Structure 1
């Protein structure tokens, strides 16, 4: 088979119904984006030592990657609506592998940052296309539950990747971390090349231009409400994650190990939330209910702080509820975003995903050295906005 034949969209054969195995494979694709963030975090000090760079300079290894993920999602979604899911996915995986290899071989920090940008642009394609393919493959009444399966797998990555990255960096050096990402990306690309066909059901006829598509989506309450709800819910969670380690250390005397174990509860509670999506979304109100759980957790945090209850349980309990709520909100919201406008699934997914990432980055960077009351107030405000937007998203167009 020629290279052109490999990359061109290959028609999907609807001979049998896709199962959880397909969703797990797509979740592996989406998890690459998160893996390339969390796996690298423990390697930042060795990178700083290798290049004789300051911590602030080396932190750009993460910042540039997050920026690339946001930019890449803006581009990948519209491309998948026009060129098809398969070529965008395979092209993104190629970029990810090339960027990872270049990062492993980078002789200087600026070249490492450039490689990280390429890696992120490729990783963004997997995040967007995996979500859209789930929407292509399953009927609307199953999409939220299947998105929840995808998200639960993706959430495992932040829990285990830092441990693996730290062990590899300590045993074999920071370049081995990028070597592992190169190998992982190559294996995923080979699997996608052989097993994933084209899933786009609409013809490849030219659709509206990018700006016209954005305007059309912005006029749909189902898209706008749920996209903004996802962004606010994610911003609430990441704001909490940004401030929690400092509060746990200052107010409760916890070291990095114990703090890490407690923060694992957020990932665990979010995974539990994704597994409850089918039950909570039976009447199509999953996003509203998820936002309500997160807002309830944030409200408890505020109440406990005002009442002067500073025990560890008064901090951890609301934290678990916030994680659970966002675990429900994420997949139910993205399911509504994707089906808001047939033919623009990729554009809708990319726009919502990029907005989610930008809102999370902005909110978490502005929280600063907050006390528990300040943190709870900010998180409650964001979760309440998510609840309002999720309710707005249920309005008819």
Structure 2
């Protein structure tokens, strides 16, 4: 839930700066903030593993061994497609907001922030029920919930409801679904190889960020002033569906692993 604070307030702050001072100011502020954080981390953060004697080649071998585990890929792809849905929305929503709905950047930031509020709600529910249900069960519930978002939005669009809430309102389910999915998927991926939690978490993070970059780039390349809404929603539907399939794969592999351990 804490991790959702930045994407909750970030779009609103960025939209306000864009509307009042222009988009170039955002990059200047990011440069200053990045420099301050670099200096802060340089002096305040230290290496926690002081006893490590592992060479770079040995670390690469660890990565290769993790990448060879199918269960790692099922969890990681589920995370990548889940995050990719939100990144696709961020790539396509600004054009749709400007050309179709004629809403200001600060208002768009509020709409985007409401989706992140859904993520916080999903994370809260995950904390309540993850102790009762398995990780893969929580993931599948999250993926089904996330599918509601683009399906309902496309249905409303097909009914001719041309309003920002018809697009962004149902997308709150994507935030809730991702909030239900991410904690369990992260926990699952870190349990793939005992003793290699850091390596698996790092690789899963890299796959997730790469997925977000890929789907935001695809969306930005595909949308135009005339098709921004429909294309963005269809890409989001495709990514949520792929995340659901990855979750089903994780469920299957997890059940197979449990059967091997029992036998």
Regarding TM over 0.5, the answer is yes
Q: Which moved more, 1:211-220 or 1:347-356?
A: 211-220
Structure 2 counterpart of 1:258: 107
Unaligned runs of 5+ in 2: 258-263
- C-alpha distance in structure 2 between counterparts of 1:375 and 1:299, whole Å: 12
- 8 Å CA contact retained: 1:217, 1:224: no
Structure 1 counterpart of 2:62: 213
SS of residue matched to 1:309: coil
- 8 Å CA contact retained: 2:78, 2:185: yes
Structure 1 residues 266 and 278 mapped into 2: Cα distance closer, same or farther (>3 Å)? same
TM-score (norm: length of structure 1)? 0.53
- C-alpha distance in structure 1 between counterparts of 2:26 and 2:144, whole Å: 44
One of 154, 158, 169 as aligned partner of 1:306: 158
Structure 1 residues 257 and 205 mapped into 2: Cα distance closer, same or farther (>3 Å)? closer
Tell me by how many angstroms 1:211 deviates: 5.4
Structure 1 residues 332 and 204 mapped into 2: Cα distance closer, same or farther (>3 Å)? farther
The one-character-per-residue Cα deviations of 1:68-111 (angstroms, maximum 9, x if unpaired) are xxxxxxxxxxxxxxxxxxxxxxxxxxxxxxxxxxxxxxxxxxxx
One of 226, 232, 247 as aligned partner of 2:81: 232
Tell me by how many angstroms 1:226 deviates: 0.8
Tell me by how many angstroms 1:330 deviates: 2.3
The CA RMSD over aligned residues, in Å, is 3.4
- 8 Å CA contact retained: 1:168, 1:174: no
One of 280, 289, 293 as aligned partner of 2:145: 293
How many residues of Structure 1 are paired with residues of Structure 2 in the alignment? Answer: 244
One of 112, 116, 120 as aligned partner of 1:271: 120
- C-alpha distance in structure 2 between counterparts of 1:156 and 1:251, whole Å: 24
- C-alpha distance in structure 1 between counterparts of 2:12 and 2:45, whole Å: 24
Task: Say yes or no: does 1:378 pair with 2:202.
Answer: no
- 8 Å CA contact retained: 2:12, 2:106: no
Unaligned runs of 5+ in 1: 1-147
Higher relative contact order (CA 8 A, sep 6+): 2
Task: Say yes or no: does 1:186 pair with 2:25.
Answer: no
- 8 Å CA contact retained: 2:143, 2:181: yes
Structure 2 counterpart of 1:389: 246
SS of residue matched to 2:169: helix
- C-alpha distance in structure 2 between counterparts of 1:256 and 1:293, whole Å: 28
SS of residue matched to 1:310: coil
- C-alpha distance in structure 1 between counterparts of 2:43 and 2:16, whole Å: 23
| Structure 1 residues 1-397: aligned runs within 5 Å | 148-149=1-2, 151-156=3-8, 158-159=10-11, 162=14, 178-193=31-46, 197-198=48-49, 209-210=58-59, 212-282=61-131, 283-284=133-134, 285-367=137-219, 368-369=223-224, 370-394=227-251, 395-396=253-254, 397=257
Tell me by how many angstroms 1:281 deviates: 2.3
- C-alpha distance in structure 2 between counterparts of 1:173 and 1:251, whole Å: 24
Q: Which moved more, 1:223-232 or 1:244-253?
A: 244-253
Structure 1 residues 164 and 304 mapped into 2: Cα distance closer, same or farther (>3 Å)? closer
- C-alpha distance in structure 2 between counterparts of 1:293 and 1:349, whole Å: 25
- 8 Å CA contact retained: 1:293, 1:321: yes
The one-character-per-residue Cα deviations of 1:140-163 (angstroms, maximum 9, x if unpaired) are xxxxxxxx54x2345456346637
TM-score (norm: length of structure 2)? 0.76
